[in-house]
Amino acid sequence: MTPAQMAETHAAAFTEARPWSADEFEALLSNRFTHQTGDRRCFAVYTLITEQVELLTIATHPDFQRQGLAKQCMELWHSKAAAQGAEHAFLDVAEDNAAAIALYRSCGYVTCGFRRGYYLREAGVRVDAIAMERALP
């Protein structure tokens, strides 16, 4: 996928939080630690450093949600990262993002901490992040 395609899917999927621009995706993917997987329907971006991997974002275009694509995409980046040596996966999720929390739990993630006021919503409202982890593969 190109950064512009990622930005397009991200903008369609993220209605509560600010989507990332094509320039932001391009900058993120310009370092050798950050990778992407998926297609215009659903994609994920993750950073892999030695045995640790962190999910930076995942998005499914609203036209394709609830079809199992995000779950497949999670499994794909888990197996790619594990093949590259990752043993532990981490992510942050906004505490009001019920869909993503349910997705991550269904993929075996458990809560490992909180970041108070981590996300900034419109009108200056701050939302806590839940930190989640799981072992790989």
Q: Which residues bind ligand COA (CB under 6 A)?
A: 13-14, 42, 57-60, 65-71, 93, 97-100, 102-103, 106
Of 52, 55, 51, residue with least CA distance to 75: 55
> What CA–CA distance (Å, rounded) separates 42 from 54?
18
**Least spacing, CB of residue 6 vs ligand COA, in Å:** 12
Pairing verdict, β 88-94 and 52-60 = parallel
* CB-based contact 96:61 (threshold 8 Å): no
* Residue nearer to ligand COA on the CB measure, 75 or 85: 75
Cβ 111 to ligand COA, closest distance in Å? 15
Shortest reach from residue 32's CB to ligand COA, in Å: 22
**Cβ closer to ligand COA: 37 or 60?**
60
N residues, the chain: 137
By CB atoms closer than 10 A (0-12, 13-18, 19+), residue 49 is exposed
Nearer to ligand COA, 48 or 57 (CB): 57
**15 vs 31, beta carbon nearer ligand COA:** 15
